[in-house]
Amino acid sequence: MDAVENLHEKAFRSYAPGHWPEIPPEQWNDWKWQLRNRVTTLESLEKKIHLTPEERAGVILSGNKLAFAVTPHYFNLIDPEDANCPIRRQVVPRIEEGNTAPWELADPCGEDSHMPVPGIVHRYPDRVLFLVTDRCASYCRYCTRARVVSGVGEQELHTDFEEAFRYLETHTGIRDVLLSGGDALLLSDGKLEQILARLRAIPHIEFLRIGSRVPIFLPQRITPEFCKMLQKYHPLWMSVHVNHPRELTTEVKEALWRLADHGVPLGNQSVLLAGVNDSVEVMKTLVQKLLQSRVRPYYLYQCDPIRGTSHLRTSVAKGIEIIEGLRGHTSGYAIPQYVIDAPGGGGKVPINPSYVLYHDEEKVVIRNYEGKVFEYPELAAEKTGANLRDDVKCASGCRGK
């Protein structure tokens, strides 16, 4: 029961009493101080928490795969008494990162083969990812771009900005550009503004988005000046990345409200992770707290089969169970779309519990969130020109026969 009650605890401040008791608030609230004082070494980590042998070996291993780095803000959310702490599991490396299953890949979503120019991933007809840096405020151990992110992996990101802008200018079908990386919010206000202004000067680009975990790892970065700068480039949306309710601290909530106050619509992308958020209870608390932070849950990702992440992945059945546990049980606005990013570069595929039990020319038989079954009359196909899907007709539980 304790764990459940903790989840519903009101947001708390990450600042004090933590592992940096001597630091005055002016320093703590300075995002550059936070970056300079990240926990990055085994020595500094061991001074703060008691590591398990698996973690100790994991930190040593991380040195030539995906760097270990955690901001003081996020570090303070770790429960030092709990080796299975959901915050700790996301950022402290473990020896299991060295295990590679045969089906795991360095580039599970086939991004490298969809890169027409260095730094642009163009997989869908009308939108692209623009990778503007390879650095993040802290490193998620399940990073889908671990091969290029943090500067110690096997590949390097060499975004050619001039070539990228030329690509975007000459491909008039691109109407949506998503800044990613790495984390675009690690760039200075000036550098980021240069990129945004340049994109806004391209007439066919209608919609700008930034994918960032900085509001969570480093909420101090979301200054009023920064938000005022963003405001000049609307429509500009932001996708943040929260996996566990404890991440929504008072500081984070303030940062998110500030972005929303400056007209930035906020979505959240969670990754389904074993021992972090693989339960209906945790996810329900998370999505409801997100709405209170003015963030609309957008996607729940099945964790990509990235090398060395099997200890963090869970089954697709679990993901479906979570969505089923949300739909009907809480606000529709709180329910993310569960997706698998198809291995090899097929893009995001929606995965849903099946609510259609039977479907033919005359009727569709559906069930609701309570399992009650209903029938709805189908309009004849010759009138609508619609084709009935065979896969649904053959779905299990054909009670309408």
- Residues within the interface to ligand PLP (CB under 6 A): 121, 123-124, 127, 129, 178, 348
Find the residue with minimal CB distance to ligand PLP.
123
Angle (CA) 256 261 263, round 5°: 100
Q: Is 109 a catalytic residue?
A: no
Q: Which of 82, 80, 75 is nearest to 14 (CA)?
A: 75
Q: How far is the CB of 178 from ligand PLP (least distance, A)?
A: 6
Q: Which of 270, 128, 271 is nearest to 208 (CA)?
A: 128
- Which one of 89, 183, 341, 358 is the catalytic residue? 341
- Which one of 89, 123, 141, 246 is the catalytic residue? 123
Nearer residue to ligand PLP within complex by CB, 124 or 369: 124
Nearer residue to ligand PLP within complex by CB, 88 or 122: 122
- Which one of 36, 82, 124, 389 is the catalytic residue? 124
* DSSP code at position 369: T
**C-alpha distance from residue 355 to each of 341, 389, 394, 400 (Å):** 22, 15, 13, 13
Question: Structure tokens of 389?
Answer: 């899907």
DSSP string covering 106-141, please? Answer: SSTT--GGG-SBTTEE--SSSEEEEE--S--SS--T
Q: How far is the CB of 307 from ligand PLP (least distance, A)?
A: 19
Q: Is 10 a catalytic residue?
A: no
Q: Is 124 a catalytic residue?
A: yes
Q: How far is the CB of 308 from ligand PLP (least distance, A)?
A: 21
Query: Exposed, middle or buried: residue 74 (CB in 10 Å: 0-12, 13-18, 19+)?
Result: buried
Query: Exposed, middle or buried: residue 401 (CB in 10 Å: 0-12, 13-18, 19+)?
Result: exposed
Q: Is 143 a catalytic residue?
A: yes
Q: How far is the CB of 186 from ligand PLP (least distance, A)?
A: 20
Q: Is 398 a catalytic residue?
A: no
Q: How far is the CB of 125 from ligand PLP (least distance, A)?
A: 10
What is the SS3 assignment for 334?
helix
Nearer residue to ligand PLP within complex by CB, 259 or 364: 259
Nearer residue to ligand PLP within complex by CB, 127 or 311: 127
Nearer residue to ligand PLP within complex by CB, 68 or 299: 299
Q: Is 32 a catalytic residue?
A: no
Number of C-beta neighbours around residue 247 at 10 A: 23
- Which one of 88, 143, 209, 358 is the catalytic residue? 143
By annotation, the residues acting in catalysis are 123-124, 127, 136, 140, 143, 145, 304, 341, 348
